[in-house]
Chain A
Amino acid sequence: MNLKIADFFIGAFSGSLVACVVSLLPQPSMILGGLVGMALALPLKVLLMPFFGAFEVMIPLGIIGMTVGMTTGMLSLSGNAAISLGGSVGLIVSTIIYFSNKQLTSH
Protein backbone atom coordinates (compact mmCIF):
# COMPACT_ATOMS: atom_id res chain seq x y z
CA MET A 1 0.00 0.00 0.00
CA ASN A 2 1.19 3.49 -0.76
CA LEU A 3 2.57 4.82 2.52
CA LYS A 4 1.09 8.29 2.03
CA ILE A 5 -2.40 6.82 1.68
CA ALA A 6 -1.71 4.51 4.63
CA ASP A 7 -1.05 7.57 6.82
CA PHE A 8 -4.65 8.73 6.38
CA PHE A 9 -6.03 5.26 7.13
CA ILE A 10 -3.86 5.03 10.27
CA GLY A 11 -5.17 8.41 11.43
CA ALA A 12 -8.82 7.53 10.85
CA PHE A 13 -8.49 4.02 12.30
CA SER A 14 -6.61 5.05 15.45
CA GLY A 15 -9.00 7.98 16.04
CA SER A 16 -12.01 5.68 15.77
CA LEU A 17 -10.43 3.09 18.06
CA VAL A 18 -9.53 5.63 20.75
CA ALA A 19 -13.02 7.17 20.61
CA CYS A 20 -14.62 3.74 20.80
CA VAL A 21 -12.61 2.74 23.90
CA VAL A 22 -13.17 6.09 25.67
CA SER A 23 -16.91 5.89 24.98
CA LEU A 24 -16.99 2.56 26.83
CA LEU A 25 -15.69 4.14 30.05
CA PRO A 26 -18.34 4.10 32.81
CA GLN A 27 -17.88 7.80 33.69
CA PRO A 28 -16.05 9.50 30.83
CA SER A 29 -14.55 12.95 31.40
CA MET A 30 -12.18 15.19 29.46
CA ILE A 31 -9.13 14.39 31.61
CA LEU A 32 -9.82 10.67 31.88
CA GLY A 33 -10.55 10.50 28.15
CA GLY A 34 -7.28 12.26 27.36
CA LEU A 35 -5.28 9.94 29.61
CA VAL A 36 -6.92 6.81 28.23
CA GLY A 37 -6.36 8.09 24.69
CA MET A 38 -2.67 8.73 25.35
CA ALA A 39 -2.25 5.34 27.02
CA LEU A 40 -3.99 3.54 24.17
CA ALA A 41 -1.90 5.36 21.56
CA LEU A 42 1.27 3.85 23.02
CA PRO A 43 0.70 0.15 22.16
CA LEU A 44 -0.80 1.26 18.84
CA LYS A 45 2.46 3.08 18.03
CA VAL A 46 4.56 0.02 18.91
CA LEU A 47 2.30 -2.15 16.77
CA LEU A 48 2.31 0.11 13.70
CA MET A 49 5.89 1.50 13.77
CA PRO A 50 7.63 -1.55 12.23
CA PHE A 51 5.34 -1.40 9.22
CA PHE A 52 4.82 2.31 8.65
CA GLY A 53 7.90 4.06 10.13
CA ALA A 54 8.62 5.33 13.64
CA PHE A 55 8.11 9.08 13.33
CA GLU A 56 5.34 8.85 10.75
CA VAL A 57 3.31 6.86 13.30
CA MET A 58 4.54 8.43 16.54
CA ILE A 59 3.68 12.07 15.72
CA PRO A 60 0.08 11.69 14.45
CA LEU A 61 -0.86 9.08 17.07
CA GLY A 62 0.59 11.26 19.84
CA ILE A 63 -1.81 14.04 18.82
CA ILE A 64 -4.79 11.85 17.94
CA GLY A 65 -4.68 9.81 21.18
CA MET A 66 -4.97 12.84 23.40
CA THR A 67 -7.31 15.05 21.34
CA VAL A 68 -9.79 12.32 20.41
CA GLY A 69 -9.75 10.93 23.97
CA MET A 70 -10.39 14.36 25.48
CA THR A 71 -13.11 15.31 23.00
CA THR A 72 -14.97 12.00 23.33
CA GLY A 73 -14.74 12.14 27.13
CA MET A 74 -15.83 15.78 27.29
CA LEU A 75 -18.84 15.27 25.01
CA SER A 76 -19.68 11.87 26.60
CA LEU A 77 -20.27 10.46 23.14
CA SER A 78 -21.08 6.83 22.52
CA GLY A 79 -21.60 4.37 19.68
CA ASN A 80 -21.46 5.54 16.09
CA ALA A 81 -21.24 9.23 17.05
CA ALA A 82 -18.01 8.59 18.96
CA ILE A 83 -16.51 6.44 16.19
CA SER A 84 -17.40 9.01 13.52
CA LEU A 85 -15.93 11.87 15.54
CA GLY A 86 -12.75 9.89 16.28
CA GLY A 87 -12.32 8.91 12.65
CA SER A 88 -12.90 12.48 11.48
CA VAL A 89 -10.45 14.01 13.97
CA GLY A 90 -7.87 11.34 13.06
CA LEU A 91 -8.30 12.16 9.38
CA ILE A 92 -8.02 15.92 10.02
CA VAL A 93 -4.82 15.48 12.09
CA SER A 94 -3.31 13.28 9.36
CA THR A 95 -4.21 15.89 6.73
CA ILE A 96 -2.63 18.74 8.74
CA ILE A 97 0.56 16.69 9.22
CA TYR A 98 0.60 15.79 5.53
CA PHE A 99 0.54 19.45 4.46
CA SER A 100 2.94 20.47 7.24
CA ASN A 101 5.37 17.80 6.01
CA LYS A 102 4.91 18.88 2.41
CA GLN A 103 5.79 22.46 3.31
CA LEU A 104 8.79 21.55 5.49
CA THR A 105 10.31 19.12 3.00
CA SER A 106 9.85 21.32 -0.06
CA HIS A 107 12.77 23.65 0.74
Chain B
Amino acid sequence: MKINKKSYDDVAKFFDFFARGDMRRWSPGQRTLFQNLKGRVLYIGIGTGQEIVNFPPGLDITAADLSFEMLKRSNERVENYPGKIHRCQMDAETTAFADNTFDTVVTVCVLCTVKNPIPCLQELKRVLKPSGELVMFEHVLSKNPVYAVILKLMSFITESLQGTYLDRNTVVNVEKAGFKIHSHKNVYLDIVKALRANY
Protein backbone atom coordinates (compact mmCIF):
# COMPACT_ATOMS: atom_id res chain seq x y z
CA MET B 1 0.00 0.00 0.00
CA LYS B 2 1.23 3.45 -0.83
CA ILE B 3 1.19 5.52 2.34
CA ASN B 4 -0.07 9.00 1.58
CA LYS B 5 -2.16 11.82 2.96
CA LYS B 6 -5.34 10.28 1.58
CA SER B 7 -4.70 6.98 3.43
CA TYR B 8 -4.29 8.74 6.76
CA ASP B 9 -7.31 10.94 6.06
CA ASP B 10 -9.37 7.77 5.54
CA VAL B 11 -8.06 6.21 8.74
CA ALA B 12 -8.69 9.38 10.81
CA LYS B 13 -12.36 8.76 11.52
CA PHE B 14 -11.70 5.31 13.06
CA PHE B 15 -8.35 6.17 14.62
CA ASP B 16 -9.52 7.13 18.11
CA PHE B 17 -11.68 4.03 18.40
CA PHE B 18 -8.93 1.59 17.40
CA ALA B 19 -6.22 3.31 19.46
CA ARG B 20 -8.36 3.52 22.61
CA GLY B 21 -7.03 0.28 24.10
CA ASP B 22 -3.43 1.27 23.37
CA MET B 23 -3.90 4.59 25.11
CA ARG B 24 -5.27 2.84 28.21
CA ARG B 25 -2.20 0.61 28.26
CA TRP B 26 0.46 3.12 27.27
CA SER B 27 -0.52 6.34 29.03
CA PRO B 28 1.48 5.66 32.24
CA GLY B 29 4.60 4.83 30.18
CA GLN B 30 4.16 7.93 28.05
CA ARG B 31 3.68 10.21 31.06
CA THR B 32 6.96 8.91 32.53
CA LEU B 33 8.78 9.36 29.21
CA PHE B 34 7.45 12.86 28.62
CA GLN B 35 7.85 14.23 32.15
CA ASN B 36 11.24 15.87 31.48
CA LEU B 37 10.54 17.38 28.07
CA LYS B 38 12.05 20.85 27.81
CA GLY B 39 12.59 23.82 25.54
CA ARG B 40 11.08 24.06 22.10
CA VAL B 41 9.47 20.72 21.31
CA LEU B 42 8.71 19.24 17.89
CA TYR B 43 5.99 16.61 18.14
CA ILE B 44 5.98 14.52 14.98
CA GLY B 45 2.80 12.65 14.11
CA ILE B 46 0.30 14.32 16.42
CA GLY B 47 -2.53 12.35 14.75
CA THR B 48 -5.77 13.06 16.59
CA GLY B 49 -3.79 14.28 19.59
CA GLN B 50 -4.48 11.35 21.90
CA GLU B 51 -1.08 11.66 23.59
CA ILE B 52 -1.49 15.37 24.43
CA VAL B 53 -3.00 14.52 27.84
CA ASN B 54 0.28 12.79 28.71
CA PHE B 55 2.44 15.87 28.10
CA PRO B 56 3.43 17.96 31.11
CA PRO B 57 1.78 21.42 31.15
CA GLY B 58 3.43 24.62 29.94
CA LEU B 59 5.42 23.32 26.96
CA ASP B 60 5.95 25.16 23.69
CA ILE B 61 5.10 22.45 21.15
CA THR B 62 5.15 22.50 17.36
CA ALA B 63 3.09 19.53 16.20
CA ALA B 64 3.23 18.11 12.69
CA ASP B 65 1.16 15.53 10.86
CA LEU B 66 0.78 14.47 7.27
CA SER B 67 -3.01 14.22 7.40
CA PHE B 68 -5.31 17.22 7.50
CA GLU B 69 -8.19 15.07 8.76
CA MET B 70 -6.08 13.91 11.70
CA LEU B 71 -5.08 17.49 12.52
CA LYS B 72 -8.72 18.57 12.34
CA ARG B 73 -9.72 15.91 14.82
CA SER B 74 -7.05 17.07 17.29
CA ASN B 75 -8.71 20.52 17.72
CA GLU B 76 -10.35 19.90 21.08
CA ARG B 77 -7.31 18.23 22.65
CA VAL B 78 -5.03 21.01 21.45
CA GLU B 79 -7.36 23.69 22.83
CA ASN B 80 -7.54 21.94 26.21
CA TYR B 81 -3.76 21.65 26.59
CA PRO B 82 -2.39 24.05 29.25
CA GLY B 83 0.51 25.28 27.12
CA LYS B 84 1.22 26.24 23.51
CA ILE B 85 0.68 23.88 20.58
CA HIS B 86 1.14 25.12 17.02
CA ARG B 87 0.06 22.63 14.40
CA CYS B 88 1.27 22.24 10.84
CA GLN B 89 0.62 19.79 8.04
CA MET B 90 3.87 18.38 6.74
CA ASP B 91 5.75 15.19 5.93
CA ALA B 92 8.14 13.98 8.65
CA GLU B 93 10.71 13.10 5.99
CA THR B 94 10.82 16.63 4.56
CA THR B 95 9.92 19.17 7.21
CA ALA B 96 10.07 22.90 6.51
CA PHE B 97 12.05 23.80 9.65
CA ALA B 98 15.53 25.30 9.70
CA ASP B 99 18.54 23.33 10.96
CA ASN B 100 19.02 23.11 14.76
CA THR B 101 15.58 24.54 15.60
CA PHE B 102 14.28 22.29 18.37
CA ASP B 103 15.50 21.29 21.83
CA THR B 104 13.43 18.12 21.84
CA VAL B 105 11.85 16.02 19.09
CA VAL B 106 9.08 13.63 20.13
CA THR B 107 7.73 10.74 18.05
CA VAL B 108 4.91 8.42 19.07
CA CYS B 109 4.37 5.45 16.74
CA VAL B 110 5.69 7.41 13.77
CA LEU B 111 8.65 5.34 12.62
CA CYS B 112 6.33 2.39 12.02
CA THR B 113 4.32 4.37 9.49
CA VAL B 114 6.73 6.63 7.60
CA LYS B 115 7.78 5.33 4.19
CA ASN B 116 11.56 5.63 4.76
CA PRO B 117 12.45 5.49 8.47
CA ILE B 118 16.19 6.28 8.20
CA PRO B 119 15.82 9.42 6.00
CA CYS B 120 13.02 10.49 8.36
CA LEU B 121 15.33 10.10 11.38
CA GLN B 122 18.07 12.01 9.56
CA GLU B 123 15.59 14.81 8.93
CA LEU B 124 14.70 14.86 12.64
CA LYS B 125 18.42 15.01 13.43
CA ARG B 126 18.78 18.00 11.13
CA VAL B 127 16.11 20.05 12.92
CA LEU B 128 17.27 18.96 16.39
CA LYS B 129 19.89 21.10 18.16
CA PRO B 130 23.21 19.30 18.90
CA SER B 131 22.43 19.59 22.61
CA GLY B 132 18.86 18.37 22.02
CA GLU B 133 17.18 15.04 22.60
CA LEU B 134 15.10 12.67 20.50
CA VAL B 135 12.33 11.11 22.59
CA MET B 136 10.54 8.14 21.04
CA PHE B 137 7.62 5.94 22.04
CA GLU B 138 7.65 3.30 19.32
CA HIS B 139 6.88 -0.33 18.61
CA VAL B 140 9.50 -2.54 16.99
CA LEU B 141 10.03 -6.11 15.81
CA SER B 142 10.57 -8.45 18.76
CA LYS B 143 13.80 -10.43 19.16
CA ASN B 144 11.74 -13.39 20.37
CA PRO B 145 11.21 -15.57 17.24
CA VAL B 146 7.64 -16.56 18.21
CA TYR B 147 6.52 -12.97 18.75
CA ALA B 148 8.42 -11.90 15.62
CA VAL B 149 6.53 -14.38 13.40
CA ILE B 150 3.20 -13.13 14.75
CA LEU B 151 4.22 -9.51 14.15
CA LYS B 152 5.40 -10.25 10.61
CA LEU B 153 2.14 -12.04 9.77
CA MET B 154 0.04 -9.23 11.24
CA SER B 155 2.16 -6.66 9.45
CA PHE B 156 0.73 -7.80 6.10
CA ILE B 157 -2.72 -6.80 7.34
CA THR B 158 -1.82 -3.58 9.14
CA GLU B 159 0.24 -2.36 6.15
CA SER B 160 -2.74 -2.60 3.85
CA LEU B 161 -5.35 -1.36 6.34
CA GLN B 162 -3.48 1.40 8.16
CA GLY B 163 -0.05 1.74 6.54
CA THR B 164 1.60 0.54 9.76
CA TYR B 165 4.62 -1.77 9.70
CA LEU B 166 5.00 -4.06 12.71
CA ASP B 167 8.32 -5.54 11.61
CA ARG B 168 10.66 -2.55 11.72
CA ASN B 169 13.87 -2.54 13.69
CA THR B 170 13.62 1.04 14.89
CA VAL B 171 16.41 0.75 17.48
CA VAL B 172 18.93 -0.15 14.76
CA ASN B 173 17.48 2.50 12.42
CA VAL B 174 17.95 5.19 15.06
CA GLU B 175 21.62 4.26 15.35
CA LYS B 176 22.02 4.06 11.56
CA ALA B 177 20.70 7.63 11.34
CA GLY B 178 23.55 8.80 13.58
CA PHE B 179 21.86 8.95 16.99
CA LYS B 180 23.15 7.39 20.20
CA ILE B 181 20.48 5.81 22.38
CA HIS B 182 21.14 6.68 26.02
CA SER B 183 17.92 5.39 27.55
CA HIS B 184 16.08 2.28 26.44
CA LYS B 185 13.05 0.95 28.31
CA ASN B 186 10.61 -1.81 27.34
CA VAL B 187 6.97 -0.87 27.88
CA TYR B 188 5.37 -4.11 26.62
CA LEU B 189 7.55 -7.19 26.12
CA ASP B 190 10.43 -6.07 23.86
CA ILE B 191 7.92 -4.70 21.32
CA VAL B 192 6.75 -1.34 22.68
CA LYS B 193 9.70 0.80 23.72
CA ALA B 194 10.42 4.18 25.29
CA LEU B 195 13.70 5.50 23.88
CA ARG B 196 15.81 8.59 24.40
CA ALA B 197 18.63 9.46 22.03
CA ASN B 198 20.97 12.29 21.12
CA TYR B 199 23.85 12.82 18.74
Contact = CB atoms under 8 A, between A and B. Distances in A.
A50 B21 contact: yes
Interface size class of B (residues with CB under 8 A): 20 to 34
Nearest to A61: B150
A49 B146 CA distance: 20
9 contacts: A3-B24, A52-B21, A52-B25, A53-B188, A56-B25, A62-B149, A62-B150, A100-B189, A107-B186
A66 to B, nearest CB: 9
A74 interface: no
B42 to A, nearest CB: 26
Contacts of B153: 62
B60 interface: no
Contacts, number: 63
B159 to A, nearest CB: 14
Interface residues of A, number: 23
B188 A56 contact: yes
Given A62-B150, A62-B154, A55 B20 contact: no
Interface in A32-89: 42, 45, 48-59, 62-63
Contacts of A53: 21-22, 24-26, 188
